[in-house]
């Protein structure tokens, strides 16, 4: 089950009427949305949406029947147990880290960000970023892990030459096992315009 499916299941299963609808499905060989809605005193659209969602998630079967030439669906429960198993594997970083750590970056000039150093002055503890203009201007603060803080402590200044992520990690003595979280903060700060990448193609 992916996150979209899990969100749909969670949304519907949390409804007050979910248990009653499943009880009807468990006790009837098949049931229509109008029959279930009248039985539970619910709006037919509410029941229809629930039944369709459970069908799309694979927990119900349905068949189209005709009454006075007007088609409608009857739903049948096809499972006796629902288990949510969320697949997190797509969220893990891929194995192509080498190419990503080879990009050259530096702090962007006039980015509107403040780097706050920790008390030890050995790493950055958080970054405050201002977005918007005028009265719409708001501050966003990003707290950093220690490896991220060490990495950004050695990020080249806007006036300095670009450096590769790999070389910055080595200078900051950040272990290779922390590569994923370094790439995550780099990608975030690239999107926010706090750091910039060298696209000159000369490296």
Q: What is the pTM of this model?
A: 0.63
| pLDDT reported for residue 67 | 76
Q: Give the strands of the sheet with 138-143, arranged side by side.
A: 113-117, 124-131, 138-143
Classify 3-77 by CATH class: mainly alpha
Where along the chain do its domains lie?
3-77, 93-197
| pLDDT reported for residue 98 | 60
Q: What sections of the chain are H helices per DSSP?
A: 3-13, 18-27, 33-40, 44-56, 97-101, 146-153, 165-172, 179-191
101 and 165 Cβ atoms separated by less than 8 Å: yes
The CA distance from 139 to 113, in Å, is 9
| pLDDT reported for residue 100 | 82
| pLDDT reported for residue 107 | 95
Please give the average pLDDT of every successive group of 10 residues along the chain, which has 203 residues: 91 95 94 94 96 96 86 94 86 67 92 87 89 79 94 94 94 92 93 90 55
The domain over range 93-197 is classified in CATH as 3.90.930: yes
| pLDDT reported for residue 203 | 53
Torsion sign (Cα): 100, 184, 104, 138: positive
């Amino acid at each position: 089950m992916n996150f979209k499916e899990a969100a749909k299941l969670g949304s519907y299963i949390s409804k007050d009427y979910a248990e009653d609808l499943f009880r009807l499905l468990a006790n009837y060989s098949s049931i229509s949305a109008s029959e279930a809605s009248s039985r539970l005193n619910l709006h037919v659209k509410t029941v229809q949406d629930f039944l369709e969602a459970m069908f799309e998630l694979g927990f119900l079967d349905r068949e189209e029947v005709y009454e006075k030439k007007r088609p409608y669906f009857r739903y049948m429960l096809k499972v006796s147990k629902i288990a949510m198993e969320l697949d997190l594997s797509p969220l893990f970083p891929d194995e192509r880290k080498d190419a990503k750590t080879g990009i050259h970056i530096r702090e962007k000039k006039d980015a509107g960000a403040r780097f706050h150093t920790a008390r030890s002055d050995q790493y950055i503890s958080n970054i405050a970023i201002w977005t918007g203009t005028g009265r719409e201007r708001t501050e966003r603060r990003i707290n950093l892990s220690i490896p991220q803080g060490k990495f950004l402590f050695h990020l080249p200044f806007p006036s300095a030459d670009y450096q590769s992520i790999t070389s910055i990690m080595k200078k900051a003595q950040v272990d290779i096992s922390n590569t994923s979280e370094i790439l995550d903060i780099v990608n975030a700060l690239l999107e926010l315009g706090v750091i910039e990448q060298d696209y000159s193609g000369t490296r």
